[in-house]
């Protein structure tokens, strides 16, 4: 059977249907989303780029765009992409010129469309489009957009416009309610950011004990564990916690005492035990000794350390 890439299934756009796009700003996310819209047939006409790195990204991703201040970018765009840090969106939106019929989107995972209220009040269609992806600022970011999910929030027609833009960029739209955006973002951060911390903490431990190439040692195990989790859920869980091996876990805690990850290990082991119990992987009788080992030995209140 002939295979088709995500790019080959995107709808062709005619010159009449192309939108003039403005990007504020050409950071890691903005430059990639702008490049994806350009690949879909739209025209990036203007962007903001302050740092040398953002100017280099703008030149690489959309070399024909003018580098302008944010109000000028907004004024020149039929579709305005706001890709600034989460807390900067609302103040920026309050300072930009908008007009009826304009499409205004932002790429924040944590925010819904409420932060774009000034644009909506001016008659623009507003939507929140957040790609479920991490960005490095390197060229491969664009290819990573193919086939990924995007959280789309928008009222009525604006939501459908947002979904159409996601499909054009090769993504899969996932509707997320306005009230759920913060929880949605927290869930993704819980995996994407904490996974990096967990892996790098492990690498540090291995390196400290003399392992010459900890990344190479860890890569197959970490990759297999992630694959098991995504394929099998809690049924993919292995290790001493899922078996109720309290003695092994106690040994781990003694070995890690005084290290940067001792508290994190205890907290994650307790959460793993809870999931193992809930899913039936760990029997209640086997969990008693394990949970005793994992109970926090520190006093609940600082004043209890030196009782009078």
pLDDT digits (tens, 9 = 90+) for 118-161: 999 999 999 999 999 999 999 999 999 999 999 999 999 999 99
Q: How far apart are the first and last CA of the chain?
A: 79
Query: What residues contact 256, with CB distance under 8 A and at least 6 apart?
Result: 262, 265
Q: What is the pTM of this model?
A: 0.85
Q: For residue range 257-281, what is the model confidence (pLDDT) as tens digits? A: 999 999 999 999 999 999 999 999 9
SS3 category, 302: helix
**Other CB atoms closer than 10 Å to residue 199's CB: what's the count?**
15
Chain position carrying tokens 């924040």: 108
pLDDT tens across 8-46, in order? Answer: 344 444 444 699 999 999 999 999 999 999 999 999 999
What was the pLDDT predicted at 297?
62
Residue 29, helix vs strand vs coil: helix
- 12: DSSP letter: P
Per-residue model confidence as pLDDT tens digits over 36-45? 999 999 999 9
Instruction: Please state, in angstroms and rounded to a whole number, the distance separating the CA atoms of residues 34 and 43.
Output: 9
Domains assigned to the chain: 16-176 (3.40.50.720), 184-294 (1.10.1040)
CB-CB contact of 146 with 170 (8 Å): yes
Q: Is the pLDDT of residue 5 over 60?
A: no
């Amino acid at each position: 059977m002939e295979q088709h890439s995500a790019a080959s299934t995107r709808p062709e756009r005619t010159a009449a249907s192309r939108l003039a796009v403005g990007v504020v700003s050409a950071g890691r996310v903005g430059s990639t989303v702008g490049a994806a819209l350009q690949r879909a047939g739209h025209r990036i006409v203007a962007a903001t780029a302050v740092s040398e790195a953002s100017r280099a990204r703008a030149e690489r991703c959309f070399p024909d765009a003018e580098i302008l201040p944010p109000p000028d970018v907004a004024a020149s765009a039929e579709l305005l992409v706001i890709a600034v840090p989460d807390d900067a969106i609302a103040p920026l939106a309050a300072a930009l010129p908008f007009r009826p019929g304009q499409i205004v989107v932002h790429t924040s995972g944590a925010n819904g469309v409420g932060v774009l209220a000034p644009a909506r009040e001016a008659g623009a269609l507003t939507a929140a489009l957040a790609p479920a992806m991490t960005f490095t600022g390197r060229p491969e970011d664009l290819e990573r957009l193919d086939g990924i999910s995007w959280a789309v929030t928008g009222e009525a027609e604006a939501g459908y416009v947002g979904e159409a833009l996601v499909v054009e960029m090769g993504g899969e739209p996932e509707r997320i309610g306005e009230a759920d955006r913060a929880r949605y973002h927290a869930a993704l951060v819980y995996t994407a950011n904490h996974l990096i911390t967990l892996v790098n903490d492990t690498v540090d431990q291995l390196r400290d004990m003399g392992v010459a190439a900890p990344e190479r040692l860890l890569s197959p195990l970490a990759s297999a564990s992630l694959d098991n989790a995504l394929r099998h859920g809690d049924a993919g869980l292995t290790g001493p916690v899922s078996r109720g091996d309290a003695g092994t876990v106690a040994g781990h805690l003694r070995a890690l005492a005084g290290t940067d990850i001792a508290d994190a290990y205890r907290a994650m082991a307790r959460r793993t035990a809870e999931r193992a119990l809930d899913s039936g992987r760990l029997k209640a009788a086997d969990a008693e000794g394990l949970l005793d080992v994992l109970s926090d030995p520190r006093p609940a209140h600082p004043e209890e350390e030196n009782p009078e």
